[in-house]
Each structure stands twice: as C-alpha cells, then as structure tokens.
Amino acid sequence: SSCVTPLRFAEAAPYAGPKETDLRETSYPIPEHYHGKWRVRVLKVRRPPAGVEARHEINEYNVRVYLWSPDYEKVFTNNDNADLVATDTCKNTVYVVAKRTACETPEQFGIDIATHFMTEYPFLSKCKIELDEKPWGRAIVNGEEHDHSFVLGGTEHKRASVEIGRDSLGKLLRPTVISSIVGMTILKTTQSGFTGYLQDKYTLLPETEERCLATELCADWTFMKSDPPPDYAAVRKAVREQLKLGIFGPARGGVYSASLQATIYDAGCLVLDAAPHVKDLQIFTPNLHYLPASFLDRLGEKFEDDIFYPIDSPSGTICCKVVRKNV
C-alpha cells in the first residue's frame, strides 16, 4: 500500500457577490462579428476491410472553423447566448464529420464540414473552414513502400479554404473554394540572371546573368463553376507540375529566368493552360538569397560560381495574380 496521503482540497464556494456584466455607457455598432474554433487537429486513418491485406491511407489536418449569424450580435451586445453554437461544439463537429467522410483532400473535407454546419444550424448565414494538411508520406523500407508506416515531409504542405453562405431564401450557395500550396521551397543553381533594372544613386546591386534563384513559393487558386465539381487532387497535381515546369524548365537544360517576376508569370500562364478548372492563380515568392562568396579571393581561393552563403533577411517580395480572360 502507498505511504503517501493524497492531498485533499476544499471545494471553492461560488462567487456570491453582484455580477455586473456591462461597464459601458454607450453601445456602438459592430458591423462584423464571428466566432469559431482554431487548431482542431485530426488524423483520419482509412483501413482496409477486416481480413484484407492492403495499405492504410492517412490524412492529418489542422482545421479552423468560422461561423456567422446576424442572430449572434445579441451575444456580444445583450449577454444572450441563445442558439449560440459553442466553440467546443465546433471542435466536436470536426471529429464527427471526419468519422463520416473520407477526408481525402482538404477541399472536400472543408466542404463536408461547412455543409454540416449550414445544414444542421439554419440560423447560420455563413460558414468558413480553413484547413492545413500535414505532409505525411509513405515510409520506404528496403526500397519498398510500407503498408502502414509514414514519414513526415518538409515545409511544403496543402491548404484549402471553403466558404458556404445562403441566398435570400435560405438556400445554400455553391461552395467557394480556394486551394493553396504553402512553403514550396525551390532552388535553381544556374539559368537565372537580373539585368536592365533602374540604376540610380541608391543602387548598389550589380547586374548579373549567372546567379542562384531560390524562393519559398506560396500559390492560391480558385475554381471555375462546374457540375460535377472538379477532382481537387488532380487539379492540385496539375498546378504543382506546371509551377515546377515554368520555374525550372525541362529537366535537361532548364529555362532562363530574366527575373523572378517574369518566371512566375510564365508559370502561372502554364497553369491556366493545363488546368481548365482553375479560374485564377496568385503566386507569392519571397526571395531566398544565396550570395556569391566573392571574398574567397582574399582567402587564396577563386570564386567559380560554386560557393554561396544564404541569407533570409531582408527579403525581396514578389507577387503575381494571373486570371483568365473574360471571366
């Protein structure tokens, strides 16, 4: 038996004093308000039927829920919580929808969660779901893909934002979906230069036709209206492949980049050509600078476009949005 006597704490008495709820003397309008739940993390494991030897499939998401209702203004202004969907309920709903659906893409999982909220609670005017997917990849053991083991990848991951509202009759509107690639870190060691830019008394940057080009790319795209909806996974794959082609060029020889601006515009046009479901594409590319170690000559060595030192600040920021004509 234990020799340690458990500690016992007296139960605290509830506060018995006055409960003043409003200190304000004037009430002002609140034109915008919402509530929800952030950082709801969920792992979905899709297992084969009992007795079947097959691979497990997984998706892990970090979910953010946002809810809107004109009825909820009174929660802020009148201390009235009637019909308020508690943030804990938002969390629980994510797990229920994960149980009931496949969760194979962040886009479809977001649509399923938002549809559940809007169907279950008719007093909601709008729901938005944001999801980040962890980049799990299947483990390779002795050159063979493992049935049920996974390794976490790098910084690049999938993101989606889904928003569903209502029309004037209360009918659910078509989901608005934004897909994203986040943190796609890329590097070219040649076929990049930067010349012909404005030179004035503040300019110190030397022109070059040989440099490293690197960035941590983020891309967001929206979708054309279509019935049935697009294959979100296939569209994402096409977007990623065309971004790589536009930036890197063919595997043998590549393509020259006269500027990061020109390169991401070219890549964006390739995406719209190859992915007809994509309505527009925004590409954000902060520079990751790899500067030539030109000081090697003072150390008895020669710089031959082979030794560079990385810096991440300050960083140039470049953004481009490409849209279809007449849309």
Q: Which of 77, 87, 101, 189 is catalytic?
A: 87
Measure the CA–CA gap between 303 and 116, rounded to whole angstroms: 61
| Spatial separation of the C-alpha atoms in residues 214 and 174, rounded to whole Å | 38
**Residue 37: active-site member:** yes
Q: What is the distance between the alpha carbons of residues 142 and 125, in angstroms, rounded to a whole number?
A: 53
Dihedral angle computed from the Cα positions of residues 220, 226, 232 and 234, in that order, rounded to the nearest 10 degrees? -110
SS3 296: helix
Q: What is the 3-state composition of the chain as percent helix, strand, coil, each rounded to the nearest 5?
A: 25, 35, 45
Q: Coil, strand or helix: which one is 15? A: coil
Alpha-carbon distance 165 to 128, whole Å? 9
Task: Tell me the residue length of the chain.
Answer: 327
Q: Which parts of the chain fold into alpha helices (H)?
A: 73-77, 87-100, 106-120, 232-248, 260-274
Q: Are 113 and 63 in contact (CB under 8 A)?
A: yes
Separation between Cα atoms, residue 224 and residue 230, nearest integer Å: 9
Type of residue numbered 205: L
101: annotated active-site residue = no
Active site residue: 116, 128, 188, 289, which one? 289
Choose the catalytic residue: 37, 116, 157, 158.
37
Per the annotation, the verdict on 201 as an active-site residue is: no
Residue 44, strand partner residues: 59
Catalytic residues: 37, 87, 289
